[in-house]
Amino acid sequence: MSPHAAETAESSRTRGKGRPRNSETAAPSLVEILNLIRTERATTRQALERESELGRAVVADRLQLLADLGLVDESELGLATGGRAPRLVRFAARRGLVLVATLDQTAIGVGVSDLSGNLLTEHHEAADLTAPVAHLASRLATLFRWCLERQSIPTAPWGISLSVPGTVPSLRDGAFMTATPPVLPAWADFPLVETLTRQFGVPVWMRSSVETMTMGELHAGAGHGLRSMLFIKVGRRIGAGIVCDGQLYRGAQGAAGLIGALPVQSDGLTGTLDAMAGSDMIQREGRAAADTGRSPVLADLLRRGSEITPIEVSQAAQIGDPAAVAILSKSGHLIGQVVATLANALNPDLIVMSGTLAQTNDILLAGIREAVYGASHPLVTRDLRIIRSQMGSSAGLVGAARVASEAIFAPAFLKDWIIQGKPTLHPDFAAYCARAQIAEVPQSVAAPPSVQERIAP
Amino acid sequence: MTISGLGPHGERAAPPERVSLLPEDIAAVKAATRRVAIVLHTLDGDWTRLQISGMLGVFGDCGVVVTEVVDCGFSADRQVAELDRLIAANPDAIVALPVANEQVAAAFGRVSAAGIRLVLLENVPTGLLPGSHYTSLVSSDNFGLGRMAAAGLAPHLAQGAAVGVLGFAADFFATNEREIAFTNWMQANRSDVQTHVLRFGAVDEAADLAERLIADHPEISAFFVVWDTPAMAVSTRFAEAGRSIVIATVDLGEDVAISLATGKPFVSVAAQQPFQQGVVAARTTILALLGRTIPAWIALPGVPVTRDNVADSFQIIWRKPAPREVLRSLGLTP
């Protein structure tokens, strides 16, 4: 057994008889107090006593323990309201870091966030997701190490959170991922989750890109503070993120919001929304309009040797090319019809449109707005706002960071690591690591010793 | 030329043509007197001079008054203080190059909260979003510059060579991109080459760090330095020590151009187009003042420069004839 595992096994063992340890009885109140501080529902000792309904001595004792663990900081003074200024109790969000990444078909983004989900560093670069997964894992590891090196105060990571281009099944057992879900066909043959866990010694979480972007928009973007929101991502596929009562709704299998699979009709043809309105359709129809000369702008681009991608079609539409305008308008109307159905079912405060086309093309957005306003109950659209996302791919990184921080501090997970001081010492994770260590780390992706020292937990 | 990098939030680049000014835009902006402040990391160097010159020309043509050009001396504290002072002065717009990331983010947030249009150059502090915190970022394709420098250096590297990479310690979008792109290009195209990275916090540390890298890895035969001023410092230090190395960098400063023309130690330069960038930044600011829709990231491609094209590239980039030493080394003048 590794020293790491021995330490945790000892501390989590319950006594056979006699009084329980202080640490065993303290955990529930520690969890409650830490989460009150972390979510800023209580920022002074008095507020903590009031919110937790615990006595002054208990709150003082737990705060001392949390301070010893480095999880809270009481060095700041608040505003005096007559008498002495109260000491503010702050969550030490820099105690650990979260490594985050977004993987989509053509780009990867990486970043580092603090434990409250605030992004500290980010970088995006073009990538080919159809390349071998080992290359992708190696590139991710290189960029994660680069992100950690960039931090002015070297701090250990506490978790990795990935945003991926496909549905991630809900975890049935356990609080973190222990196997790589087959989100993409190639992942069946490569243990991405296991490799990252082994290299960085931290738990891994994963969500679909629509889910992470929805979380990002909800916590740091236009949806901040809202209880009900729809997030629609338009790309090759079209998906929806659903926020009800301030929470992301994942559904029974983690597959809520797959609206791209719904059948729609246009020009006498029936097909899925993905096929009839997604960026593949825009590219295909744009190319046809260039070939036949229906679109003078696209035909000119083609003559100059330019490729016709959805971006070109979108730009042509923006400058008034009639054929391109018709293509984007058709896509917008079809998406709008489906979104209207969802809006009538959920009555959101806000609909956020995301994806390169939705964020840059006015005609597409106008088509969506027209269809939603035209096909919805007046009460649903009375105060409804339909806007484009301003966050770009950062939404995915910010959202992935929130996924990790919510998972790390979920009461059921937190209660078993809080006494140890960090989630990497959670008994289940330590046991998983001990099993995973048996497999050898591939040399090509192992961290150099100097880096391993710096990031050692 | 295509843009190989992605924006600070993963945006695809918009070309500079996207922010051209029509006669009616110029007429509209001239209808009222607008005040703009320019806040830069430093006022030293050719890059800054050309960038300002590009901006001033366009602003002048459009009747926009530049009230001040602020030098932040690479200091985050000074930039924060200057921004707070400018918020009180309340110009219509600020064009600024953020010198750091986290330390200055809140101050830039205060600028946009005060209703002042903000156009950023080269760098976006993490957490600030286009549309809500700033209007647009205008920058070079810094990822492309890093790749370009690597591709230009590669033919000068023997099989299994080692390269010292000197990055910038501040968390800065432009230099981060160059460093990542350089090492990424080497891994992808010259996997035999080893790269060893150190990062300097101030320009005058660069030469010391280069010596430390050589002491730790005596096999290093080449350097990539993320911009030209520290690269020149490294070049001078090794010339004094009589050590032969080759260097790749970003930006075609005058001294670098002279060195490039002689064939050593500079062999590959990925140059920005600072004048053009200034022009684009000013046009972006004017469109922002008029409330037009503007892309989140406007990127300008770099210019790959080697000994073969240093004289004409110098003219394109600096809008003046190449230095006499360059022309003489190339045999173009007696």
Specify the CATH number for the domain of residue B212.
3.40.50.2300
Residue whose entry in the numeric block shows the structure tokens 């205008």:
B138
B10 lies in a domain? no
Pair (B173, B199) in one structural domain: yes
Residues B126, B232 within the same domain: no
The answer to whether A310 touches A283, Cβ cutoff 8 Å, is: yes
DSSP code for B14: B
Q: Which among B102, B131, B180 is the nearest to A123, CB-wise?
A: B180
Q: Cβ contacts (< 8 Å) between B4 and chain A: which residues?
A: 126
Residues 291-330 of A with CB under 8 A from B: 311
At residue B94, the 3 state secondary structure works out as: strand
Among B112, B126, B297, the residue to mutate for chain A (most A Cβ within 10 A): B126
Residue B119 domain-assigned (yes or no) = yes
Whether B183 and B317 share a structural domain: yes
The CATH code of the domain at A97-211+396-455 is 3.30.420.40
pLDDT of residue A24: 60
- Among residues A255, A249, A227, the alpha carbon closest in space to that of A383 is found at A227
By the 10 Å C-beta count (0-12 exposed, 13-18 middle, 19+ buried), A160 is classed as: buried
Which residues have C-beta within 8 Å of that of residue A29, sequence separation ≥ 6? A52, A54, A58, A62
- Tell whether B180 and B292 lie within a shared domain: no
Give the residue-averaged pLDDT of B204-210.
Answer: 95
User: How far is B282 from B275, CA to CA, in rounded Å?
Assistant: 11
Is B128 within the bounds of a domain? yes
Alpha helices in B218-266 (DSSP H): 228-241, 254-262
A residues 404-443 near B, CB within 8 Å? none
Helices (H), chain B: 23-30, 46-61, 76-89, 102-113, 142-153, 173-189, 206-216, 228-241, 254-262, 274-289, 310-318, 324-329
Looking at the structure, tell me whether residues B212 and B260 fall in a common domain. yes
Chain B nearest C-alpha distance from A125 (Å): 6
Question: Does B102 fall in a domain?
Answer: yes
The residue among A183, A225, A201 whose CA lies nearest residue A145 is A201
Nearest Cα neighbor of A408 from A156, A97, A103, A130 is A97
What the block records as the tokens of A311 is 């971006």
* A109 neighbourhood in chain B, CB within 8 Å: 6, 10
Q: How far is CA B91 from the centre of its chain?
A: 25
Q: Which of B105, B136, B70 is nearest to B282 (CA)?
A: B136
DSSP-derived 3-state class of residue B167: strand
Residue B7 covered by a domain: no
- B132 and B119, same structural domain? yes
Q: Where in chain A is the domain with CATH 3.30.420.40?
A: 97-211+396-455, 226-390
What is the distance in angstroms between the Cα of B333 and the nearest Cα belonging to chain A? Answer: 39
User: How far is it, in rounded angstroms, from Cα B277 to Cα A39?
Assistant: 43
- Residue B8 lies inside a defined structural domain of this protein: no
CA atoms of A457 and A8, how far apart (whole Å): 14
Q: In a structure prediction context, what are the per-residue pLDDT tens digits for chain A, which is 457 residues long?
A: 344 444 443 344 444 555 655 556 778 889 999 999 998 899 899 899 999 899 999 999 999 999 998 999 988 777 777 777 888 899 999 999 999 999 988 899 999 999 999 888 899 999 888 888 888 899 999 999 999 998 888 899 999 999 999 899 887 667 899 888 888 887 888 899 999 999 999 999 999 999 999 999 999 889 998 999 999 999 999 999 999 999 999 999 889 999 999 999 998 999 999 999 999 999 999 999 999 999 998 998 888 777 788 888 988 898 789 999 999 999 999 999 999 999 999 999 999 999 878 877 889 999 999 999 999 999 999 999 999 888 877 899 999 999 999 999 999 999 999 988 899 999 999 999 888 764 444 443 333 333 333 333 3
Preceding omega of B304 cis (within 30 degrees of 0): no
Interface of A with B in 189-228 (CB under 8 A): 220-221
The model carries a pTM of 0.84
Q: Is B129–A121 a contact, with Cβ atoms under 8 angstroms apart?
A: no
> Do B170 and B229 share a domain, yes or no?
yes
How many independent structural domains does chain B possess? 2
Give the 3-state secondary structure of residue B62.
coil
Asked if B9 has any chain A CB less than 8 Å from its own CB, the reply is yes
Confidence of residue B192 (pLDDT cuts 50, 70, 90): very high
CB contact under 8 A, A120 and B293: no
CB contacts of B127 in chain A (<8 Å) are 118-119, 220
**B191 interfaces chain A, CB cutoff of 8 Å:** no
Task: Determine, yes or no, domain membership for B11.
Answer: no
The alpha carbon of residue B313 is apart from the nearest alpha carbon of chain A, in Å, by 25
Determine the Cα–Cα distance for residues A133 and B104; give it in Å rounded to an integer: 38
Q: Does A366 touch chain B (CB under 8 A)?
A: no
pLDDT score for A22: 59
Mean pLDDT of B52-72: 96
- Eight-state DSSP code of residue B12: P
ipTM of the shown complex: 0.85
User: Least CB-CB distance to B6: which of A125, A152, A360?
Assistant: A125
Residue A354, beta-bridge partner list: A233
| Residue B288 token pair | 């922002």
Q: How far apart are CA A389 and CA A241, in angstroms?
A: 13
For A48-82, b/e burial (b = at least 16 CB within 10 A) is: bbeebebeeeebebbbebbeebebbbbeeeeeeee
Q: How much is the pLDDT for A11?
A: 41
Domain co-membership, B123 together with B225: no
CB contact under 8 A, B8 and A393: no
User: Nearest 5°: phi and psi at A438?
Assistant: -60, -40
Which chain B residue has its CA at the smallest distance from A104's CA?
Answer: B10
Structure confidence at residue A443 (pLDDT): 40
Subunit contact A390:B129, Cβ cutoff 8 A: yes
State residue A160's pLDDT score.
97
Same domain, B155 and B252: yes
Residue B162 lies in a domain: yes
What CATH code is assigned to A226-390?
3.30.420.40
Which residue intervals of chain A bear CATH 1.10.10.10?
Answer: 3-91
Q: Does A102 sit within 8 Å of B10, measured CB to CB? A: yes
Q: How far is B82 from chain A (nearest CA, A)?
A: 23
Task: Say whether residue B171 is in contact with chain A using an 8 A CB cutoff.
Answer: yes
Query: Could you say which of B9, B176, B184 has the minimum Cβ distance to residue A391?
Result: B9
Q: For the domain covering A3-91, report its CATH number.
A: 1.10.10.10
Domain that holds residue B60: 16-140+273-300
Same domain, B214 and B311: yes
Cα separation, B62 vs B70, in Å, equals 21
What contacts A244, CB < 8 A, 6 or more positions away?
Answer: A227, A228, A346
Residues B264 and B282 in one domain: no
What angle do helix axes A56-68 and A45-52 make, rounded to 10 degrees?
120
Inter-chain contact B126–A121, Cβ cutoff 8 Å?
yes
CA atoms within 13 A on the CB side of A286: 30
Domain co-membership, B41 together with B102? yes
CB contact under 8 A, A122 and B131: no
